Structure 1
Amino acid sequence: MIVTLLALLNACNDPNNLGMELLPSTDLIEVKNLVEKSSILAYTFQEEGIRTDEASRSLLGSMNDTLFGKTDIDFATQFRLQSFPDYGTNPVADSVKLYLYYRFIYGDTVTPQTFRVYELEESLIADTSSTQGGASDYPYFQDVDLKSMASSQMIGEIQYTPKIELDSASQDTLYQLIVIPLDISLGEKLVYADSLQMVNNDVFLEYFKGLYIEAEKQSEKGSILSLETVSSSSFQGSALVVFYDNDENQAKEKPDTMLYPYLITQFSARVNSIKHDYTGTPFEANLNSELEEDSLLYVQSTGGLESKIFIESLSSWRDSTRMGINKAELIFQIDTIASDLDKYPPPSRLLFTYVGEDGIEYLPADNSFHPSFYGGYLRTDDYTYRFNITQHLQEIIDNNVENLGFYLTTVNKNSEANRVVLKGSGSKTGIRLVITYSEFL
């Protein structure tokens, strides 16, 4: 008994021998690394229409990008009552103005933009799915014809040069304001509305359906504004404001400036119409084609451009029962020169999805752990986007998913206008898949 105990203690003193007598001599593990590039194919495609209603920020403007072509974005929205408007005795509409706030622009701050305002004649329908827990029955996509829903009579126009200002202390971007004077006829329509037309918002929105703002197409340069439209507890948001007078105010010794705001709230329908024109772009000849791989990839938000990717070597890992995937990282390298990062900042995050057997795009299983684990965030130290697809590759090995291809798109598709140029797999520092795996010998 004592001899046996001493022998066991001696074995435990050598950590390299611990447990070795319990394993067959063939069960040794070798860790290997593989960098795969040659089997990766990537192409630039135009993204199918995206939803443009109730985005976190609405977009407006026109931009002519020499590399990514033309982008034109119009905007339409509802305005809601906050309370029953009491305009007093013998009210008179003095003026009516549209206030549009924004903080971010994409493009230049030199080219003036021309915005024209029209009253909607056809009702917008708000997406109530977020408040009712269901899917919206009335989604709007980027090809919606907002102009056809509005009157042909313009009621306001402004030429405005976008600008950006930073807070000197915090360096936060300050809110900027566009004020568009509108025809007094709209103010009179609101001031003189019958009380029955303002009993609630459903009735009011049939009476005044909202406004459509059109951005004049730019022949060169230009920009896209990210509008801060929705009111909150700390920010009134963009609004339509009627300035008026009445008998009670005139009876005062010093009459006030009286106003009533109609706000854009979280319950207001807010819709963008987005059009792209890629005529004359460097990728036009190969766009939407898998016949010839381009040396560069073009990814753009606003329902613009995405990359279609095939990694043929992944299928060769199937049924690798004596292998375990420690990590599989897919790396995309930004072409910093072609992207022109100072003028056109890249998206803060990209989205990598795989194609299922039903043709629908799905997020890899790695995303279920945590978005930061899955990745796709812009790394400014080396200007790459990196995706952890370890679990997805393991699912291919386990025959749980097919290797039918992938798509690379932007995350914020309808609330920002950022774009980026990536190096293709043919480049030395282009797309690469780095796999660390354990092989049981």
Structure 2
Amino acid sequence: MTNSFFRTLLFALSIAFFASCDYEYNDLGSDIIDDDIHHNMLRYEASVAAYDAATGAVQANNLPINSLGVYDNPVFGKTVASYVTQLQLASANPTLTNPVIDSVYLYVPYFSSYESTDEDGNNTYSLDSIYGNPEARIRLSIYENKYYLRTTDPGSGDASAQKYYSDEKSLVENNRGTLRLNDGTASQNDQFTFSKNEIKRFYVEDGESKVAETFQPGMFLYLNKEFFQQKILDAASGNLLNNSVFAEYFRGLYFKVEQIGDQQVMAMPRFDQGKITIKYTDNKLDTNGNPTNETEKKTITLNLTGNSINFFENTYTDAFTTAINQNDDASGDERLYIKGGAGAMAVIDVLSQEDIDLLRQERVLINEANLTFYVDKQAMANAKEPMRVYLYDLKNKRPLYDYSIDNTSNNAYPKYGKFVHGGLLAYDTDGRGLGYKVRITNHINNIINNDSTNVKLGLVVTENINVTSNASLKTPFTAGTTEVKTVPVSSVTHPFGTVLYGSNSSVPEEKRLKLEIFYTKPN
């Protein structure tokens, strides 16, 4: 998610972030810096090599946030994101006597911000996490899911958690109901849009339409009443006894997305806060819980919680496919293609043995060390730019020490925390992304002065810098002697990517990936 205030702030900081890159580099200790940032420090440009690696299909079940829609990135290609989720009864084992359904609707809120209220009390909102053309339409179909989403893997032998992958849509597509449940007006299915409008549900009293409920912007769909009458209200009581039984009986909903023409829009609905509300009329119960002859209005709520999977259907561009298939793990690539979802990452080696020996010999005190990545602005001219990248220990699948000790935070916008460690997009004067700088001072210092292992690093885009858990790769790959079996979850949940200049010698010096070390020497 982005914020205009932080965009302005990051632009202002860009000058400071990248000012130190405009010097000539010479031998160790010969370049003395006397600027406002690195007063009287020495600077050394160390060896760094980086190359592309495709992730392939990624584990995509029970993600903290999910995508829905179509996005056609001019660099990477088209992604169609669909979703399946279990349902859970808000209150299990309801007493049903002669229930007759009145209405049933689904509501999933979007990420939105309140803007204003007019004189009639109508609220205005702006949407966040909506990408592409916000006015674009998609074909949205909601079906009953008939494929059981397991919690544990029966084939693991040790009750390990079940893993489902981003390319396994056929599991659900081939095991779904045939009835489209959102079968109302076209705006709720064949011409669906992610609207920023406030939602009002009405009822009629004495011939007058009145507001029954008001919702913040979200997906609001009336669902097929006959289906839910049969599936829920007419269900055998044992099927609604508890949510374990219910998950087997009603296996959830499948949100299928199809593109309309060349229209594209993708959102990150807050599925974890979604619910289905079933309004019905039934016999009133007396104080002993027995039905009477009177009737009353009642409600059953189904929460969109339980196991879920986000599916990604990717149609990659030829340029992206070629770059990934022709990576140069020896000399490093000219361009680094970093894409979230089922996409790509960069594998990075820092410090040659010659660098390490030289810095140790000089007994330097490392004051600051940064990896600086420049955006290929021509390649990214018409593409959405990720706000942040995440650098991590590829071998041990964990954050770097610099990340762990960075306690900077932002309570209003938590995703902008850890800003000393960095990785935030800095902007050029034209308002487009200039590059990313990641501070790895302690990581480099531990290699030089504490004899820590110089592990390979991974670079990915991140949807949330605070999420450091990992998702499995369906097909692991090898980077040198390191077998890569996982990728950060925060990359899986990010729908976009960026193209960065790499470390290959063919890249112009002023654009090339750099590892610059600022240090002082003992007297």
TM-score, structure 2 as length reference: 0.64
- Structure 1 counterpart of 2:496, one-letter code: N
In the TM superposition, residue 424 of structure 1 has moved relative to its aligned partner by: 3.1
- Counterpart secondary structure, 1:385: strand
- Structure 1 counterpart of 2:43, one-letter code: N
- Counterpart secondary structure, 1:154: coil
- Structure 1 counterpart of 2:253, one-letter code: L
Tell me, yes or no, if structure 1 residue 347 matches structure 2 residue 397: no
| Partner residue in 2 for 1:333 | 374
| Alignment partner of 1:109 out of 134, 139, 144 | 134
Equivalent runs, 1:260-299 vs 2, <5 Å: 260-265=300-305, 268-280=306-318, 282-291=319-328, 295-299=334-338
In the TM superposition, residue 71 of structure 1 has moved relative to its aligned partner by: 0.8
Percent identity of equivalent pairs: 25
In the TM superposition, residue 33 of structure 1 has moved relative to its aligned partner by: 0.9
Tell me, yes or no, if structure 1 residue 419 matches structure 2 residue 443: no
Distance verdict in 2 for CA 1:276–1:143, change over 3 Å: same
2-side partners of 1:278 and 1:302: how far apart?
A: 12
Equivalent runs, 1:80-99 vs 2, <5 Å: 80-84=88-92, 86=94, 88-99=96-107
1-side partners of 2:378 and 2:159: how far apart?
A: 42
In the TM superposition, residue 163 of structure 1 has moved relative to its aligned partner by: 3.7
Check conservation: 1:314, 1:403, Cα contact below 8 A.
no
Tell me, yes or no, if structure 1 residue 431 matches structure 2 residue 513: yes
Distance verdict in 2 for CA 1:200–1:269, change over 3 Å: same
Distance verdict in 2 for CA 1:98–1:164, change over 3 Å: closer
* C-alpha distance after superposition, 1:72-118 (max 9, x if no partner): 21111111112146465321234433323223212222331111122
In the TM superposition, residue 365 of structure 1 has moved relative to its aligned partner by: 2.4
- Structure 1 counterpart of 2:461, one-letter code: T
Check conservation: 2:105, 2:220, Cα contact below 8 A.
no
In the TM superposition, residue 64 of structure 1 has moved relative to its aligned partner by: 2.2
- Counterpart secondary structure, 1:318: helix
Larger CA deviation: 360-369 vs 57-66: 360-369
| Partner residue in 2 for 1:170 | none
2-side partners of 1:136 and 1:400: how far apart?
A: 36
2-side partners of 1:83 and 1:220: how far apart?
A: 43
Larger radius of gyration: 1
Distance verdict in 2 for CA 1:161–1:314, change over 3 Å: farther
2-side partners of 1:398 and 1:228: how far apart?
A: 46
- Counterpart secondary structure, 1:367: helix
Larger CA deviation: 205-214 vs 283-292: 283-292
Q: Any gaps of 5 or more consecutive residues in structure 1?
A: 1-28, 128-133, 167-173, 231-236
- Counterpart secondary structure, 1:316: helix
TM-score, structure 1 as length reference: 0.75
2-side partners of 1:198 and 1:105: how far apart?
A: 36
Distance verdict in 2 for CA 1:213–1:69, change over 3 Å: same
- Structure 1 counterpart of 2:342, one-letter code: G
2-side partners of 1:218 and 1:274: how far apart?
A: 17
In the TM superposition, residue 336 of structure 1 has moved relative to its aligned partner by: 4.4
| Partner residue in 2 for 1:378 | 425
| Partner residue in 2 for 1:394 | 445
Check conservation: 1:62, 1:217, Cα contact below 8 A.
yes
| Partner residue in 2 for 1:363 | 399
2-side partners of 1:238 and 1:355: how far apart?
A: 35
Tell me, yes or no, if structure 1 residue 69 matches structure 2 residue 77: yes
Larger CA deviation: 68-77 vs 79-88: 79-88
| Alignment partner of 1:185 out of 201, 220, 227 | 227
Check conservation: 2:85, 2:308, Cα contact below 8 A.
yes
Distance verdict in 2 for CA 1:256–1:114, change over 3 Å: farther
Check conservation: 2:375, 2:434, Cα contact below 8 A.
yes
Q: Any gaps of 5 or more consecutive residues in structure 2?
A: 1-31, 33-39, 112-128, 153-157, 183-188, 199-215, 286-291, 407-417, 463-489
| Partner residue in 2 for 1:154 | 179
Check conservation: 1:62, 1:218, Cα contact below 8 A.
no
* C-alpha distance after superposition, 1:252-307 (max 9, x if no partner): 7xx97654221124xx1122122322143x33212143238654332222232212
1-side partners of 2:195 and 2:68: how far apart?
A: 14
Tell me, yes or no, if structure 1 residue 238 matches structure 2 residue 274: yes
Tell me, yes or no, if structure 1 residue 205 matches structure 2 residue 215: no
| Partner residue in 1 for 2:36 | none
State the Cα RMSD in Å. Answer: 3.4
Check conservation: 1:299, 1:410, Cα contact below 8 A.
yes
Tell me, yes or no, if structure 1 residue 53 matches structure 2 residue 100: no
